[in-house]
Amino acid sequence: MPYKLLFVCLGNICRSPSAENIMNHLIAQAELSDSIICDSAGTSSYHIGSPPDRRMSAAANQKLGIKLRGQARQFLKSDFQDFDLILAMDRDNYENILMLDPSQQYHHKVRLMCDFCSRHTLKEVPDPYYGGPEGFNQVIDLLVDACEGLLNNILSQELNN
């Protein structure tokens, strides 16, 4: 059974698809594509069906040489069962996800993305949507750090079991 990760932000067009694609890039480099599967979603319904934001795509391409793939979808209650780990980009996303689990049955599966950073001290991935290009570049840097930490964590915790 592959280990399944779900990255969640508000609209699923900037931060969470970037995290999903960066993580897939790292997983492919580590030749673990059969062992770890990634997806992303948004807590809102604003952008359902939309591709990743073009400014986010430009930053990912410029900094990492990767193309952001995907289509925005909304987080579903069934995602709690379907995924092993759900990674919220910020505190608001985290709270919104937990509100969909009133029994607290799945709270242990939900974490903040920045918990896995080793180089950055920010506790949340800021939403770059209304800012300039530097915001998108910062998100890529943060997510590379967090994804590397997350992959190391999964390798030490999960795939050795």
Which of these is catalytic: 9, 38, 114, 117? 9
Q: Are 149 and 118 spatial neighbours (Cβ–Cβ below 8 Å)? A: yes
Nearest to 8 by CA among 81, 90, 71, 65: 90
127 labelled catalytic: yes
- Residues with Cβ within 8 Å of residue 95, at least 6 apart in sequence: none
Rounded distance between C-alpha atoms, residue 68 and residue 31, angstroms:
19
Which of these is catalytic: 90, 127, 145, 147? 127
Residues written for the chain: 161
Q: Supply φ then ψ for residue 12, to 5 degrees.
A: 65, 35
9 labelled catalytic: yes
Which of these is catalytic: 14, 15, 38, 114? 15
Rounded distance between C-alpha atoms, residue 60 and residue 30, angstroms:
19
Active site residues: 9, 15, 127
